Amino acid sequence: MTCCSHLFRKIRSSSATRFAGTDIDISELHNVKIYTYKELRIATTGFSLANKIGQGGFGSVYKGKLRDGCLVAIKVLSAESKQGVQEFLTEIKVISSIEHENLVKLYGCCVENNHRILVYGYLENNSLAQTLLGKS
């Protein structure tokens, strides 16, 4: 967890208060790192099928390795999702404000043009239920 400790600080400069390609103000997001699409593409080796660890109704999840070596789960929301940017940001605000030992931590997100991506802490064995309930 120490490799990701820097992620819990809000990353922002005076010129980076809006998501790239949008007019959405991100100044209200706290404890959430804003990633570029390029960073996440590199972390997942181009969203390679070899790194795909899940698929759901809202999109695909990939295992990724950030530049600092931290392992993360990267959820790429489907382009067909009807969720708008404002709803996406509201979801991020809610998720990032909740901390509990049984919840996966949201590290950050990416909103560039039509890309909507969430970055979570990675759990070994690809299963939250298995982590919480054991192997039986």
The residue-averaged pLDDT of 89-98 equals 81
The edge-to-edge listing of strands for the beta sheet with 52-56 is: 33-34, 106-112, 115-121, 71-77, 59-65, 52-56
Query: Structure pTM?
Result: 0.73
* Higher local confidence (pLDDT), 40 or 6: 40
Q: Residue 60 has what pLDDT?
A: 92
Q: Residue 15 has what pLDDT?
A: 36
The residue-averaged pLDDT of 19-23 equals 54
Contacts of residue 107, defined as CB under 8 A and 6 or more positions apart, other chains included, come to 4, 7, 8, 32, 33, 72, 119, 120, 121
Q: Residue 39 has what pLDDT?
A: 97
Digit-coded pLDDT (tens) for 46-61: 999 999 998 877 789 9
Q: Residue 42 has what pLDDT?
A: 98
Residue 75 labeled ligand binder: yes
Domains of the chain by start residue, with CATH: 24-133 (3.30.200.20)
Range name among 18-22, 23-27, 60-64 with the lowest pLDDT average: 18-22
